[in-house]
């Protein structure tokens, strides 16, 4: 069949496309992208050429010449070789932002991670030269800080809950209030977790009210655990009634069933001391008589991702001996960061000054406003449209739901581009800056930025604005 004139033009254009070898030679000669092996290089060149060929078939006016193909290859190689996980500036006003890695670590914890990254005495008792337990590095600290008889650390709190249910209650019943059937992000729903752990859920009370008599009626020979779950990411107001840990403990003692408390956030200091809303602390849960308290390392505690269980030695022993324990084992880098973070809590006043999440929570609005003025002055000096505005930050990460933290922000506008585009450009900067879109502007909230990062924030915003046409 005769070629149509369009097909003829297409095959003419395809002949213009350079060969794999010519592109390879040129990319190697220019040496613009960091070390990549021969196979990867060939693969990328083939990919780019195949896409261009397809482009011509789909009616692209012309196949690119050598120089253009080489640039495409280099740009793809840069994307492959560039680090994906990077440090960012969180100016969203959400302190524990799950998408931004929850709690930032204290410098002490960062140093401990670096030190543990090589060989370390993870499971070695240096005094005797015999095998030790990785738990030994944190158990003593957790005992002293929380007042609990013992402790066990695993990979995250979801794992701690799952391990506790599996090892203490598999095949038996666990009693939980209906109003505590929480969902922590789509993949962690209490009823599903219980089912997966092989536990029979016995729900008591109604959505909004539960009484001790409901628990009493539900307890039987099959009951393995009374579980209380902190409503960490939502609040119930109005006609509500709860049963305290203390009351549950009394019942538990009478019927010989342990009480476990999934505290979620795991604050180790009383937030009311800095004018913040009440959040139950681990120490209180222990003092109120919970036999087992489970909480996260990277929420209000301000450390690395970890699940921490504190409480009765016999219960923790059963958890440690269960096969799942090995599956959810905490790694050495997390453990190093956790140990260093916990050490900061040996002096709670010092913790407020050094644990980043607590520093952000405790920052005075006067100080935040002062910083907002300083940042906006710097930006305005370069001609930017930057104004200081009162703002509301939040804890996030499923902690202190509904608690608005008064804050100050720099409201940024750029006359030639939309707020969305400005936000996109800020996200593409080095380091990426994450703000909040509001009222056709990008708000940079200073409560989620540590003061020492203000200069980098200023410089980055200035350079982004200067690159806007």
Ligand X SMILES: *Cc1c(COP(=O)(O)O)cnc(C)c1O
Nearest residue (CB) to ligand X, 232 versus 281: 232
Strand 399-413 to strand 385-396: parallel, antiparallel, or no bridges (unpaired)? antiparallel
Nearest residue (CB) to ligand X, 74 versus 331: 331
Contact 361, 273 (CB under 8 A): no
- Beta-bridge partner residues of 409: 389, 445
State the DSSP code for 207: S
Distances (CA, A) of 277 to 79, 215, 287, 399: 45, 29, 20, 11
Q: Whole-number minimum distance, CB 152 to ligand X, in Å?
A: 14
Nearest residue (CB) to ligand X, 304 versus 362: 304
Contact 376, 387 (CB under 8 A): yes
Query: What's the half-sphere exposure (Cβ side, CA atoms, 13 Å) at 280?
Result: 21
Nearest to 468 by CA among 339, 405, 379, 387: 379
Q: What are phi and psi of 148, to 5 degrees?
A: -80, 155
Two tokens at 326?
């090995």
Write out the residues near ligand X by the rule CB under 6 A.
Answer: 156-158, 161, 182, 184, 188, 229-230, 232, 262, 264-265, 296, 307, 398
| CA 415 – CA 438 distance, rounded (Å) | 15
DSSP H or E stretch at residue 459: helix 454-466
Q: Whole-number minimum distance, CB 227 to ligand X, in Å?
A: 11
| CA 443 – CA 438 distance, rounded (Å) | 7
Two tokens at 289?
């008589």
Q: Whole-number minimum distance, CB 231 to ligand X, in Å?
A: 8
Q: Whole-number minimum distance, CB 296 to ligand X, in Å?
A: 3
Nearest residue (CB) to ligand X, 179 versus 435: 179
Nearest residue (CB) to ligand X, 262 versus 445: 262
Report the residue number whose CB is nearest to ligand X.
264
- Beta-bridge partner residues of 295: 264, 308
Nearest residue (CB) to ligand X, 135 versus 296: 296
Q: Whole-number minimum distance, CB 157 to ligand X, in Å?
A: 3
Q: Whole-number minimum distance, CB 406 to ligand X, in Å?
A: 24
Nearest residue (CB) to ligand X, 158 versus 245: 158
Q: Whole-number minimum distance, CB 230 to ligand X, in Å?
A: 5
């Amino acid at each position: 069949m005769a070629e149509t004139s369009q097909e003829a033009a297409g095959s003419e254009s395809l002949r213009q496309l350079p060969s794999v070898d010519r592109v390879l030679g040129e990319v190697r000669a220019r040496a613009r992208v960091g070390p990549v092996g021969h196979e990867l290089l060939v693969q990328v060149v083939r990919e780019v050429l195949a896409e261009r060929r397809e482009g011509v078939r789909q009616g692209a006016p012309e196949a690119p010449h050598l120089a253009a193909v080489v640039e495409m290859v280099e740009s793809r190689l840069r994307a492959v070789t560039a680090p994906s996980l990077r440090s960012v500036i969180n100016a969203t006003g959400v302190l524990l932002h799950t998408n931004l890695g929850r709690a930032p670590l204290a410098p002490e914890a960062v140093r401990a991670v670096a030190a543990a990254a090589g060989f370390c005495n993870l499971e070695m008792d240096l005094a005797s030269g015999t095998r030790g337990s990785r738990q030994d590095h944190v158990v003593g600290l957790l005992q002293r800080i929380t007042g609990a008889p013992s402790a066990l650390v695993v990979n995250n709190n979801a794992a701690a809950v799952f391990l506790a249910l599996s090892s203490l209650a598999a095949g038996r019943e666990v009693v939980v209030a209906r109003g505590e059937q929480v969902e922590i992000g789509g993949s962690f729903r209490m009823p599903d977790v219980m089912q997966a752990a092989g536990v029979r859920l016995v729900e008591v009370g109604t959505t909004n009210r539960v009484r001790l008599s409901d628990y009493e009626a539900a307890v039987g020979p099959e009951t393995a655990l009374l579980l209380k779950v902190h409503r960490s990411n939502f609040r119930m107001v109005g006609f509500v009634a709860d049963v305290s840990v203390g009351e549950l403990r009394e019942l538990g003692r009478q019927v010989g069933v342990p009480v476990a408390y999934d505290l979620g956030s795991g604050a180790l200091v009383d937030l009311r001391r800095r004018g913040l809303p009440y959040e139950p602390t681990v120490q209180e849960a222990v003092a109120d008589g919970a036999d087992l308290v489970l909480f996260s390392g990277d929420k209000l505690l301000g450390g690395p991702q970890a699940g921490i269980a504190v409480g009765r030695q016999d219960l923790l022993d059963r958890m440690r001996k269960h096969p799942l324990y090995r599956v959810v084992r905490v790694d050495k880098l997390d453990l190093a960061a956790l140990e260093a973070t916990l050490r900061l809590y040996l002096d709670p006043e010092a913790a407020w000054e050094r644990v980043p999440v607590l520093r952000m929570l405790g920052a005075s609005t006067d100080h935040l406003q002062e910083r907002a003025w300083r940042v906006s002055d710097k930006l305005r000096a370069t001609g930017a449209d930057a104004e200081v505005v009162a703002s509301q930050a939040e804890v996030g990460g499923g902690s202190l739901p509904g608690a608005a933290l008064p804050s100050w922000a720099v409201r940024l506008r750029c006359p030639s581009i939309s707020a969305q585009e400005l936000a996109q450009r800020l996200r593409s900067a080095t380091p990426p800056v994450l703000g909040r879109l509001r009222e056709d502007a990008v708000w940079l909230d200073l409560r989620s930025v540590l003061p020492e990062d203000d200069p980098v924030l200023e410089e980055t915003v200035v350079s982004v604005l200067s690159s806007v046409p």
